[in-house]
Amino acid sequence: MNWLILIFAGLLEVVWAVGLKFTEGFTRPIPSLVTVAAMAASLYLLSIAMRSLPLGTAYAIWVGIGMVGAVVVGVVMFHESLSVIRVVSLLFLVIGIMGLKFSSGA
């Protein structure tokens, strides 16, 4: 169950990372509220997942989900470039995340 909580926390990290783009420096109230709420929820869920998951594994997976998700959203929503090097780098991140998950023993 804590793995699902961790995944959801990582997805909320993507929400707040993308939300930052829409806040325009926290000058727009609605996007700012959504972003801050996603930040708080993401950190709260991460803390719950860390009750039973190893610190390094949980944090790295949380950051990895956020990082990969932010890049994917950036490419899809904001038409950011997607080069071969970026794809290979993302694949390495995903492989690293999977390796941490399967080697954690939790």
Closest CA to 64 of 106, 1, 4, 11: 11
pTM equals: 0.88
Q: For 28-60, what is each residue's pLDDT tens digit?
A: 999 999 999 999 999 999 999 999 999 999 999
The pLDDT of residue 106 = 56
Domain positions in the chain are: 2-103
Higher pLDDT: 98 or 8? It is: 8
Mean residue pLDDT of the chain comes to 94
Residue pair 48/5 in contact by the 8 Å Cβ criterion: yes
Residue 16, classified by CB atoms within 10 Å of its CB into exposed (0-12), middle (13-18) or buried (19+), is buried
- Whether 67 shows a pLDDT value over 80: the answer reads yes
- Report, as an integer, the average pLDDT of 18-27: 96
The pLDDT of residue 82 = 92
- Report, as an integer, the average pLDDT of 69-81: 95
- Report, as an integer, the average pLDDT of 66-80: 95
Coil, strand, or helix at residue 1? Answer: coil
